[in-house]
Amino acid sequence: MSIQRTTTSSPPQWKKYDVFLSFRGDDTRKAFTDYLYASLVHQGIITFRDEPELQKGKAISSELFSAIKESRFALIVLSPNYASSTWCLDELVTILDCMKATEMTVLPIFYNVDPSDVRKQAGSFGEAFTKHEERFRDDKEKLQRWRSALTQVASFSGWNSKEWYESKLIEDIVDVIWKKLQPILFSSVENLVGIDSRLQPINLLLGAGVDDVRFIGIWGMGGVGKRSRLWLPKDINYVLSKNTGTEAIEGIFVDSTNESGVEVDVNAKSFSVMSKLRYLKINCSNLPDGLDCLPNSLRILKWTGYPSKSLPQHFNPEKLLDLSLCHSVNILSTPDFRVMPYLELLTLEGCRRLYKVHPSIEELSSLIVLNLKDCKNLVHFASSLHGLKSLKVLNLSGCSRVNKLPNDMGHLENCLEKLDVSGTGIRELPSSIGLLKNLQDLSLRGSAASFRHYRSFHLMYG
């Protein structure tokens, strides 16, 4: 196998976000944009999703301006009603201003609109401006800024949704962004069928903007070319047990259950110098001396069988998006979630001794999935769900000691799609559950909950 390494001439400037996503919520929030956002995040692309409808009547805030400025790319979803929102138009002007002042790349997505309508402000864009001209007839300068911004963005290379199946469109957008984010890539030579898809997860871990080192563990049968995120499991074990890592490492994947039989012993200070570590996935390990620290730079932390009772005291991962500590039987309580305000995925499945969820969980406005399945010692997980404005999936299956849901479940009316309380001690669902208009999957199988008040939901009960 022959593999070539290609590099760019200079490293990109470090940004807080990979992508800023601009869209008209009424058009695409619950469909196209939601799927696009989920696909970007799944690929490990750090994405800021603005919610214009939550900002009605407000000017572009300093926080939002900072998010735009701190993004490598801006994806503009130009949908039929995009121009009817003055917020979206102001946001677009700000994005183009930042593009001129920074290295931001702006990529338009013409979603069910003709690019020429955007460029000429015709069709639905023309109708929107007819109303704007009446409302802002004394502010011609603002109107001209908006028109100029639309004309400019319509001239950029992007995607026209009318030419794609939607799933393929999203796949291509994510692929283009991902490839543009990688300044150092491995690319296969011609005629190596299927190699690109196998190199993609490796490139994700290798993504770096400078000449530095990455550690990758690969395991498999002897004699299949492993020695050509390369390092064997015993080498990874050496790095973690002897504390020989460096700040250059951005991704680590460790599986101590693989066929090599190598057990990973993690030194208490293993991660002390890995200040750029973004992705850490460990399947079981030993912590003979506990763990002093984890890098605050982490975006994704998946540690199956985490052996300590809690995460390190001074672990403050402000940018963490995904926290999974499945089957960590020693975990007694969760961390204070105020140090990870942008968390989107929280999975604590099988943490049998977990008895307490920190009340700050109620403040995680970006949380999409909360999985507490089979936390059999858990008695109480939240007093209120009012702040969980993005929660789509709540899984309490097997939490046999949980006997009550928060009374304000109705506040999740616009987001919650799946609720699993099977095998719990819940006898009565709160009356506000009837407000959950987006609920598609409700499972009560094996729980004590009464069905008599909820037949009108016309849902499929497990």
**pLDDT tens-digit profile of 343-399?**
999 999 999 999 989 999 999 999 999 999 999 999 988 889 889 999 999 999 999
Judged against a pLDDT cut of 60, whether residue 46 lies above it is answered with yes
Catalytic residues: 91
- Indicate whether 280 belongs to any domain: no
What percent of the chain is predicted at pLDDT more than 90? 41
Domain that holds residue 436: 299-462
Give residue 196's pLDDT: 54
Confidence of residue 334 (pLDDT cuts 50, 70, 90): very high
Please compute the mean of the pLDDT values over residues 13-39 and round it to a whole number. Answer: 85
The predicted structure's pLDDT at residue 170: 93
Are residues 314 and 452 both part of a single domain? yes
Is 195 contained in some domain? no
- Most distant pair of Cα atoms in the chain: their distance: 76
Residues 6+ apart with CB under 8 A from 139: none
pLDDT tens-digit readout, 210-220: 344 455 555 54
Q: pLDDT tens digit string along 238-252?
A: 677 666 666 777 777
Does 225 reside within a domain? no
CATH of the domain at 97: 3.40.50.10140
Our count of domains for the chain comes to 2
What are the residues whose beta carbons fall under 8 Å from the beta carbon of 371, sequence distance 6 or more? 346, 347, 348, 349, 393, 395
Question: What is the 8-class DSSP label of residue 82?
Answer: G
**Whole-number Å distance between alpha carbons of 181 and 47:** 13
Tokens found for residue 394: 């709540």
| CATH code for the domain in which residue 403 is found | 3.80.10.10
Q: Are both 324 and 456 inside the same structural domain? A: yes
Is there a contact between 71 and 18 (Cβ–Cβ < 8 Å)? Answer: yes
Residue 124 lies in a domain: yes
**Which residue, of 180, 215, 237, is where some domain finishes?**
180
Whether residue 222 is predicted with pLDDT greater than 50 in this model: the reply is no
Q: Is residue 364 part of a domain?
A: yes
Per-residue confidence (pLDDT) for residue 26, from 0 to 100: 82
In tens, the pLDDT along 273-286 reads: 888 888 888 876 67
The answer on pLDDT for 186 being more than 60 is no
Structure confidence at residue 402 (pLDDT): 92
Residue 15 confidence class, pLDDT cut points 50, 70, 90: confident
Distance CA 282, CA 264 (A): 9
- CA–centroid distance for 73 within its chain: 16
163 and 308 belong to one structural domain: no
> Which tokens hold the place of 91?
């946001």
Q: Please report the pLDDT score of residue 365 as a whole number.
A: 92
Q: Higher pLDDT residue, 224 or 108?
A: 108
Domain-located, residue 416: yes
Beta strand spans in 66-193 (E): 71-78, 105-110, 159-160, 184-188
Q: How confident is the model at residue 236 (pLDDT cuts 50, 70, 90)?
A: low
Verify that 163 and 310 share a domain, yes or no: no
On the question of pLDDT at 290 being above 80, the answer is no
Alpha-carbon distance 34 to 313, whole Å? Answer: 34
Flag the least confident range among 27-31, 206-210, 319-323: 206-210
Task: With H, G, I as helix, E, B as strand and everything else as coil, classify residue 166.
Answer: helix
Q: Which residues contact residue 423 at a Cβ distance below 8 angstroms, ignoring those fewer than 6 apart?
A: 397, 398, 399, 400, 445, 446, 447
Q: For residue 105, what pLDDT band results from cuts at 50, 70 and 90?
A: very high
Q: Are 154 and 118 in contact (CB under 8 A)?
A: yes
Which phi and psi angles does 391 have, rounded to 5°?
Answer: -65, 120
The pLDDT of residue 372: 96
**187 domain-assigned:** no
**CA atoms of 32 and 182, how far apart (whole Å):** 25
Residue 182 predicted with pLDDT over 70: no
Residue 231: its pLDDT value, please? Answer: 46
Instruction: Identify which of 393, 333, 385 has the alpha carbon closest to the alpha carbon of residue 363.
Output: 385
Residue 344 or 62, more confident = 344
* Structural domain contains residue 228: no
Q: How far is CA 22 from CA 28, 77, 100, 105, 109, in A?
A: 11, 6, 17, 13, 10
pLDDT for 10 equals: 41
Q: Does the pLDDT of residue 228 top 50, yes or no?
A: no
pTM over 0.85: no
Domain-terminating residue out of 148, 180, 212: 180
Structural domain ending residue among the three candidates 160, 180, 200: 180
The contacts of residue 376 (CB under 8 Å, 6+ apart) are 352, 398, 399, 400, 401
